Amino acid sequence: NPVKTRKGALIGCGFFSKNHLHAWQQLEGVEIVALCDANAQRLQEASTEFGITKVYASAEDLLAREALDFVDIATTAASHRSLVEMAARHGVPCICQKPFANTLDDAVAMIQACRKAGVPLMVHENFRWQSSIQAVRKALDEDHIGQPFWGRVSFRSAYDVFSGQPYLATEDRFILQDLGIHIIDIARFLFGEVATMSASATRINPKIRGEDVATLLMKHTSGLTSVVDCSYATANTRELFPQTLIEIDGALGTLRLGADYQLTIHVKGGATQVVDCAPPLHDWAQRPWHNIQDSVLNIQAHWLQCLTDAREPQTSGVDNLNTLVLVEKAYESAAHQQTTIDIQKAT
Ligand code: NAD
Ligand code: 89V
């Protein structure tokens, strides 16, 4: 049987959307048939660069006129609720970029709208789809180090993210909302759901509005303790942006994801193996973003597979609500002298 070509549309032709469009072009069985952006110049640029001639300034017009298998929403968080609810009203499955929502109420409303309409919803939470994070997950599944009891997921950088994404410098919330959200999601992916959490956050860079350093201490329902630490104020000997580094201690050994995507697995009293889990450099990708770019390809491939299998995506709306709750509670804990907060799993 020939593979059905799924027809999608992309809403939001900004900085990051180019990665979505390149990845859709690389994938089999999918075509982006239309673009939408309220900004005419960005819309035209994306149309020309990717050869997609159907363009819309309004998402409502796009959804009314096109027969779509899905929409890919790559706008910033403020517009997510209205766009996801609009797609649900039109019965169109949707992918929504992170941060899924600016409030938990908005996230719940989007989940309910898609459930009511019976359409799949995936949050584009791509960091867990990086080759190195997948390699750590695989090593845990293969049980090299026994029961993990402690973990650290760390992202420390001084890379200038503000020139590509100027809104990151001007919003009240910065690192937890934009980057911490990915790192917390990796902690959930590797260590499971969280029972209690406390956090601290601070701003070092005087030129930005929000916090650029944050640290979380979490007790997971499995009993494992983890630390998630993020910084955009850390000028290190080597700039590793956008690498996430990981340490995991287990009853029988240790895993260390170090610089340059090198994963060291050490078994107590036994062998040490080093696995190179560097991402491929796709012909449309640029270092150092190639790691993130490959994860975009991977999560979009996962979405297509889930549509084919009628399966819920890993980072469905409700799954991602658990990550969003941790971000929200981290701000709350940080604002209240690092109070420890109980976390309930969202269902
Ligand atoms: P951007 O501001 O460059 O682009 C957003 C675009 O959406 C703009 O062109 C804007 O005109 C358009 N837009 C906004 N509301 C609209 C609406 N209602 N209808 C039509 N068009 C609308 O933003 P960006 O830097 O590309 O970021 C977009 C999202 O991607 C953000 O949520 C950001 O956090 C996320 N992001 C994710 C990753 C990742 O690795 N997952 C990396 C970078 C950015
Ligand atoms: O992945 C992201 O969401 C980006 C960045 C890596 C710059 O934080 O915004």
Domains and their CATH numbers in the chain:
6-119 (3.40.50.720), 128-286+322-342 (3.30.360.10)
Q: Calculate the average pLDDT of the chain.
A: 97
Instruction: Quickly count: other Cβ atoms within 10 Å of residue 236's Cβ.
Output: 12
Exposure letters 104-116 (e unless 16+ CB within 10 A, then b):
bebbbbbbebbee
Tokens at 201, concatenated: 């956050």
Q: Which atom of ligand 2 is nearest to the CA of 126?
A: 1
Q: Is the pLDDT of residue 4 over 90?
A: no
Q: Which atom of ligand 1 is nearest to the CA of 127?
A: 40
177 C-beta closer than 6 A to ligand 1: no
Q: Is the peptide bond before 99 cis (omega within 30 degrees of 0)?
A: yes
Residues of the chain by 3-state class (helix, strand, coil), percent to 5: 40, 25, 35
Q: What is the pLDDT of residue 347?
A: 85
Q: Tell me the residue type at 315.
A: T
- Per-residue pLDDT averaged across 15-44, rounded? 98
15 C-beta closer than 6 A to ligand 1: yes
- Per-residue pLDDT averaged across 183-189, rounded? 99
What is the spatial distance between Cα 57 and Cα 39, in angstroms, rounded to a whole number?
Answer: 7
Q: What is the pLDDT of residue 204?
A: 98
Exposure letters 237-251 (e unless 16+ CB within 10 A, then b):
eeebbbbbbbbbbbe
Q: What is the pTM of this model?
A: 0.98
Q: How far is CA 345 from CA 195, 222, 223, in A?
A: 8, 13, 15
User: Interior CA angle at 24 toward 49 and 64, to 5°?
Assistant: 85
Work out the pLDDT band at 3, boundaries 50, 70, 90. low
- Per-residue pLDDT averaged across 32-56, rounded? 98
Q: What is the pLDDT of residue 2?
A: 56
Going by alpha carbons, the residue nearest to atom 4 of ligand 1 is 14
Work out the pLDDT band at 282, boundaries 50, 70, 90. very high
Tokens 């908005």 map to which residue?
106
Q: Which of 76, 182, 213, 320 to mutate to test the pocket of ligand 2 (most atoms within 8 A of CB)?
A: 182
Provide ipTM, 2 decimals. 0.99
What is the spatial distance between Cα 197 and Cα 295, in angstroms, rounded to a whole number?
Answer: 28
Q: Is the pLDDT of residue 269 over 90?
A: yes
Residue 301 Cα to ligand 1 middle (Å): 20
